[in-house]
Amino acid sequence: VTHPMHEAFKHNAFQMLVAVVLSQRATDAMTIPVSIQLFKRAPTAQKLANMPLKEIETIIRPIGFYHAKALAIQKLAHVLVEQYRGNVPSTESALLALPQVGRKTANIMLTLFFDTPQIAVDVHVHRITQRLGWITSNSPEETEVKLTALIPKKFIYDVNRIFVRHGQKICKPISPKCSVCP
């Protein structure tokens, strides 16, 4: 099963990166259609960098935090244009140097777009692996290191996708549905 973000943007690293940044604190179900609308107007880093901020805000408003996210993705687009000719770098260190790109976003890009599987640890992955007793960790970074040592490489691609879905539907932070947990 493929990741919905990968299905929507698998042919364009710039669009995938911007969509992943927009998905922070939003669902893929909301982010993907909003991103598609944005990319109809600004399909490249250059076009997004030159787009009026108010127009970006209007398009991305449904996903929340639209003012901060509009500023962030426009800044990201400027950096991509100025430093990478509008292309998305394919190394972990270069991705992490981009504005608004942390470990989770870099790992998602490396796994879904650049075929360099990394475990993207978000709140769901962090919470569930500890509840299962797989690891004990105080931070997502520590969870990533421990899971990378624990999970066989062939399953790394699936960890984030499966655990996010499980965390949203069953292993919720409050009132988890343990009675139906597989």
| Planar angle of CA 34, 36, 37, nearest 5 degrees | 65
CA distances from residue 172 to 54, 133, 136, 142, 180 in whole angstroms, order as listed: 36, 16, 18, 21, 12
Residue 122 catalytic? yes
Active-site hit among 75, 122, 146, 158: 122
Active-site hit among 104, 115, 153, 158: 104
Sign of CA dihedral 74, 75, 81, 86: negative
CA distances from residue 22 to 57, 76, 127, 153 in whole angstroms, order as listed: 12, 11, 22, 28
Q: CA 182 to CA 21: how far, in whole Å?
A: 31
For residues 44 and 81, the answer to whether their CB atoms sit within 8 Å is no
Q: CA 26 to CA 20: how far, in whole Å?
A: 10
Q: Is 16 helix (H, G, I), strand (E, B) or coil?
A: helix
Catalytic residue set: 104, 122
